[in-house]
Chains A and B, each alone.
Chain A
Amino acid sequence: MRAERAAGAPAMQLQEANHRLLSAKAIRTWYVVHKWTSLICTVFLLLLSITGLPLIFGHEIEDLTGDTVDAPELPAGTPAATMDRVVAAGLDGRPGHVVRFLFWDGEDHPNATAPSQDAPPEALRTVSVDSRTAAVLQEPEEPGGFMYVMFKLHVDLFAGLPGMLFLGFMGLLFLVAVVSGVVLYAPFMRRLPFGAVRRDRTARTRWLDLHNLLGIVTLVWVFVVGATGVINTWSDVLLAIWRNGQLAEMVAPYRDKPPLAALGSIDTALAAAKAAAPGMEPRFVAYPGTDFSSAHHYAVFLRGSTPLTSRLLKPALIHAADATLTATADMPWYITALLVSQPLHFGDYGGMPMKIVWALLDVLTIVVLGSGLYLWAVRRKGATVPISETEEIREQAA
C-alpha cells in the first residue's frame, strides 16, 4: 500500500481517518469491486445510455419523421364504429391472415386502433384503423429505421432473449458498481466539502471530483432506472411464468375442449369484459390461440385511469363463441412489478418536462460512465488504493 511508503505521520493519519468510516482494507476491497464491476459493464452501459437517449423522445422523433399515424380531425362526438367493423377493415385484402392482438393506441393518435396478425412473432404486422370510421390509417410496414435500430440495440442487441438476459446481467453488475461507488464516496470526500471540484489540479483530480459529484447526486435516479431496466429484461420470463401459472389455471376447464368453429363478436366480448371490471377500459385483446389466451377465449386486458393504474392490467377471459365471462383476476405481484417498472424505466409518465429531465440525467450518467473509464485509463501504475487517498498522502508529505 502506497500509504506505508509515504512519510510516517500522514500514513498514520490516513489509517486513523480510515478507521472512522471504513478500514483501509475494506476501502481496498470496495475499490476492487467498484473497478471490476464497472470495467465489465461500462461499455454496455454506455451503449444503453446512448441508445436510450433517442428512445426517451421516441414518440416525438416519430412525429418529426412522419412515422406516426394521424387520425383525421372529426367533429367531437363522432360515434365509434363497431370493433367488429374495425377488425374486418384490418383483415380486408389480407387473405390467409388472422387477427392475433387488438390494441388501443389512444395517447398518441386518438381513435387509431390496430389489429395485427399471423403466426410467428416476427411475422406479426400491425394495421392501424380509425376506430370511428373503420378506415385503414396505416398499412403494415417492415420493421426498420433509426428508431428500430436504437430500440433493438437497447433491448436485446439484436440477439433475442439471450441478448436481453445478457444486458440484464450487465445491469446487475452496474447496480453493484453503483452501490460500491456510494461506499467509496465517503473516503474520497473525507476532506472535501460537498460539490468540490478541484479545477486547479490535474485533469485526473478534476474528473475524479466530477465523477464523484455527478455519481452521488444522480444515484437514486440511476439506481431506479437501472433496477427497473434489469426487471424489464426478465419480461419474457415473467410472462412465461404467468402463462403457465395463473393463465393456465384460469382456462384449465377448457384444455380438452374441441377448437372453436368460428369466433363470436368482439364487441359483445368487450362489453362483457367491461361489465366484469367497472371503471376500467380495455388496453389490448389477445385473440384465441395466442400466448396470452387459450384456444377458446378472447383475453381482454383492462386498465385503470390514473397514471399508475393505467399501466396495470387486469385480464378478463371471455369465451370467444358465446361471450360469457370465464374468469377474471388481478395479475400476480411479479407481473404488477414488471408493469410498474416500465414507466419508471421509460420516464414517459410526467409529460415533456420529465422527458427533458430524464434525458439530462441520462447525459449526466454518460459523463459518470465516461469519466470512470477515463480514471481507470490514467490510473497510476501500481496504485492499489483510491487515487485521491494517495494524492492526499503526497500533498501532506510534501
Chain B
Amino acid sequence: MSDRIRPRYTAWQIFSVPIVLGALSGVGLVTALVGDGPWDAVSWLGLGLPVAVCLWYGWLRKTRSL
C-alpha cells in the first residue's frame, strides 16, 4: 500500500514552504512602497521568487514519479 511508502505530513510540514513564500511576497509588496532603488530591488526579489517557484515546480522540473 502506498501509505507505507508515502509519509503523512503534519500541518506544519504542509504549510512551511507556503508560509515562507507568503512572507516573501508580503515583504515584496511593501518594500517598493517605502522607497526607491534598493527597496524596489528587494520587492522584485520578494515577488519574483514565488513566481520562479511556480515555474520550476509547475513546468520546468524534470518529470519524477510521485
Residues of A within 8 A of B10 (CB): 20
Q: B58 is contacted by which of A21, A213, A308, A392 (Cβ under 8 Å)? A: A213
* Closest chain B residue, CB of each to CB of A186: B14
Taking residues whose C-beta sits less than 8 angstroms from the other chain, chain B's interface range is 35 or more
| B29 CB to nearest A CB, Å | 6
Q: Inside 8 A of B54's CB, which chain A residues have their CB?
A: 213-214, 217-218, 364
A308 and B34 contacting across the interface, CB-CB below 8 Å = yes
Which of B3, B53, B56 has the largest number of chain A CB atoms within 10 A?
B3
Pick out which of these stretches binds chain B: A90-98, A188-196, A264-272. Answer: A188-196
Q: Is A344's beta carbon under 8 Å from chain B?
A: yes
A13 touches B (CB below 8 Å):
yes
- For chain A, give the interface size range: 35 or more
A349 to B58, CA, bound (A): 28
A220-B22 contact in complex given A191-B8, A307-B33, A357-B51, C-beta closer than 8 Å? yes
- Which residues of B, 12-65, contact A by the 8 Å Cβ criterion? 14-18, 21-23, 25-26, 29, 32-36, 39-40, 43-44, 47-48, 50-51, 53-54, 56-58, 61, 63, 65
In-complex Cβ contact of A354 among B18, B26, B32 (8 A): B32
Contact with B along A321-339 (1 / 0, CB 8 A): 0000000000000000000
Most buried by B among A216, A219, A340, A392: A216
Contacts of B56 in A (CB 8 A): 195
On whether the beta carbons of A217 and B53 are closer than 8 Å, the reply is yes
Of A190, A307, A350, A358, the residue contacting B8 (CB under 8 A) is A190
Are the CB atoms of B9 and A191 closer together than 8 Å? yes
Q: In the complex, what distance in Å separates the CA atom of A396 from the CA atom of B5? A: 11
Chain B residues with CB under 8 Å of A17's CB are 8
Assembled-state Cα–Cα distance A153/B36 (Å): 32
Rounded to whole angstroms, the CA-CA distance of A292 and B48 in the bound complex is: 39
Chain A residues near B7: list those with CB within 8 A.
191
Give 4 new A-B contacts, CB below 8 A, not counting A196-B66, A307-B36, A353-B40.
A185-B14, A190-B8, A197-B57, A343-B33
Question: Which B positions have Cβ atoms within 8 angstroms of A?
Answer: 1-3, 6-11, 14-18, 21-23, 25-26, 29, 32-36, 39-40, 43-44, 47-48, 50-51, 53-54, 56-58, 61, 63, 65-66
